[in-house]
Structure 1
Amino acid sequence: MVHIAIIGGTGVYDPSILKNVYDDKMNTPYGEVAYKIGEFGDKKIAFIPRHGSHHSIPPHLINYRANIWAIKKLGVGHIIATTAVGSLNERMKPGDFVLVDQFLDFTKNRVSTFYEGGDRGVVHLDVTEPYCPKLRSFIEQAAQQLNLPIHNGGVYVCTDGPRFETPAEIKMFKQLGGDLVGMTNVPEVVLANEAEMCYSTISMVTNFAAGISPQVLTHAEVLEIMAENGEKIKKLIMRSIENINIKDDSCKCRKMLAEYGGFKL
């Protein structure tokens, strides 16, 4: 059984951190998923590169349902996801980490449920707390132990991409209470909740968003900040994994669909 999954980019994964690493793949009802499995201490870890191993999948074409289904099938109880984000909040500066606790969904063409009627039926998921408070506390503790700048709480605005947002959109998102803007966290977080797993996102601020930043946004800028902070986020994830109590399955995240008889693969 795999205990913890990491969903993120290649900058997060370092083979020297895990032991006995191997590649594997799984067929799901939504398509094939490739991933790596390794060990860290007494915990088995799965890693899925959200955009593919060569960053070849744009955010609006990521197979979110296949990824989450495969993670659940592996027996995972906790998911740590990483995202690169632009900031709408001057307190959340480039290089900071943010543990988001709410989202605003501005995606238009993504399926955000495993339950579309038919044999699987329909469910209405409660997303009062979409990001697991317990898991966020483990990660916050790890950041404090490593003396890394982190904000526990923030509103993630999710857009379709792959283009960056306009200054007018950013102004609107900020007025609506958004702190960060990115392109990948929805429907991933929703599907993880449906699949009854504890899920938390570590968002790395790579830039101030359009209209706030004094310069034109580029993907190279994002990659530069990611590279500068790559070692920090890897250390943060590994220390978080040390802190996680994998034997505790009492979290309410594990019972999100209790009234429907639980999540069924």
Structure 2
Amino acid sequence: MSNLAIIGGTGFENLPPEFFGETVSVHLANAEVKVISIADNYVEPQALYFLPRHGDTHHLAPHQIDYRANIEALVELGVNKILATNAVGSLRSDLPPGTLLIPHDFIDFTRQRMLSYFVGSKWRHTDFSEPYSQLIRNAITRAAEDLDVPVVSRGVYVGVDGPRFETPAEVRMFALVGGDVVGMTGVQEAIFAREAGIEYGTLCFVTNYAAGLSLEPIEHEAVSKMMQDHVPTIREVLFQAAHLLCDLE
């Protein structure tokens, strides 16, 4: 039997009151990670956990998140399937704000992040021919269809360090090399989850056009507000996907 986890990004730091959850502290060698065990257990007989990526008060900037500790904590809890969400900027004029996209591939432009889940001498080369789990992507796609929520079922996620937003020249480059959306939190999770043997997929929400595609300046508060306004829909899709994955067991 395998457990599931939902990792919430910007705007999705907390569950609504009707979701009764209990905080679980996972003590690791160099960190303590707090996750929410959803006691109502929407995916019985598996356990379902919720992990707010930025902390429950969004106090962690993208470059301050301990991605490895988060994945290690979920491994300790017996999780082998992760449904995540990421706020992203659009690199294409035909992917406007409000678009939901399920990436199938990524390009790693991070420079100051931890490279691997493996530490010390216990490492191996890991195949990334399928960077995101087809199982998870299919579940999210099917869930969106069941709920009549439009999604783009493929896309390339470009990962950057942040916390600053990208320059217009960087945005043009990312688009030229095949990127569709850009974000600061998705790549390390995908890498570490794959290396840890966890099925991982994410539902990206386009909060804004990246720099140079719009005359409007990009402001974090506006990005957060845009995401928060759509969290109920995103949450519904992810929980429906969790149900579908449970049915496959």
TM-score if structure 1 supplies the norm length? 0.87
Q: Residue 260 of structure 1 aligns with which residue?
A: none
Secondary structure, aligned partner of 1:77: strand
Q: Residue 227 of structure 1 aligns with which residue?
A: 228
Secondary structure, aligned partner of 2:71: helix
CA RMSD of aligned residues (A): 1.7
Of all paired residues, the percent bearing the same amino acid is 40
Q: Residue 187 of structure 1 aligns with which residue?
A: 188
Unaligned runs of 5+ in 1: 249-265
Q: Residue 106 of structure 1 aligns with which residue?
A: 109
- CA shift, 1:134, in A, is 1.3
Secondary structure, aligned partner of 2:152: strand
Q: Provide the rounded CA distance (Å) in 1 between the counterparts of 2:200 and 2:144.
A: 17
126 and 17 in structure 1: CA distance in 2 versus 1, 3 angstrom threshold: farther
Q: Residue 40 of structure 1 aligns with which residue?
A: 42
Secondary structure, aligned partner of 1:68: helix
- CA shift, 1:29, in A, is 2.8
Q: Residue 49 of structure 1 aligns with which residue?
A: 52
Q: Provide the rounded CA distance (Å) in 2 between the counterparts of 1:92 and 1:49.
A: 26
Q: Residue 6 of structure 1 aligns with which residue?
A: 6
Q: Residue 24 of structure 1 aligns with which residue?
A: 24
Q: Residue 261 of structure 1 aligns with which residue?
A: none
Unaligned runs of 5+ in 2: none
- CA shift, 1:147, in A, is 1.4
Instruction: Specify the code of the residue in structure 2 equivalent to 1:229.
Output: H
Secondary structure, aligned partner of 1:127: coil
Query: Stretches of 4+ moved more than 6 A in 1?
Result: none
Q: Provide the rounded CA distance (Å) in 2 between the counterparts of 1:108 and 1:145.
A: 39
Q: Residue 176 of structure 2 aligns with which residue?
A: 175
CA contact (8 A) 1:158 1:183 kept: yes
Q: Provide the rounded CA distance (Å) in 2 between the counterparts of 1:10 and 1:172.
A: 25
Instruction: Specify the code of the residue in structure 1 equivalent to 2:81.
Output: H
78 and 47 in structure 1: CA distance in 2 versus 1, 3 angstrom threshold: same
- CA shift, 1:114, in A, is 2.7
TM-score if structure 2 supplies the norm length? 0.93
- CA shift, 1:164, in A, is 0.2
Secondary structure, aligned partner of 2:79: coil
CA contact (8 A) 1:10 1:53 kept: no
